[in-house]
Amino acid sequence: MRFTRDHEFIDASGETATVGISEHAQQQLGDIVFVDLPALGARFKRGEAAAVVESVKAASDVFAPVSGEIVAVNSRLAETPSLVNEDAQGAGWLFKLKLSAPAELDELMDAAAYAEYLKTIG
């Protein structure tokens, strides 16, 4: 699992990767009330806004951590957006990407580096 400075996680397996927000991000947002997911087949470049997570506090863009095409979305979030709060890095995943530039994964933080990064932002 890799992480971005914007608090997305990506878990790649072969040429497909699962994307969502980190446990830290969901804690900062508070109770998630709505998730706007991308359309199947949509293509994103690394860093482009791909989804929106809305909480009682704020709405937050979720950026594509790497470039790729949307091949699946977590349709369970339409009825149960709180899955993001309950298990952000598991059942609360947002979408799956078919990687178009797998080497971009190497530029992301692993779990240990992300934990260190969180310490710097307090």
DSSP state, 48?
S
* This prediction's pTM: 0.95
3-class SS at 111? helix
What string of pLDDT tens digits covers the 122 residues of the chain? Answer: 999 999 999 999 999 999 999 999 999 999 999 999 999 999 999 999 999 999 998 999 999 999 999 999 999 999 999 999 999 999 999 999 999 999 999 999 999 999 999 999 96
Strand partners, 19: 10, 95
CA 64/CA 47 separation, integer angstroms:
5
Q: Domains, the chain, ranges and CATH?
A: 2-121 (2.40.50.100)
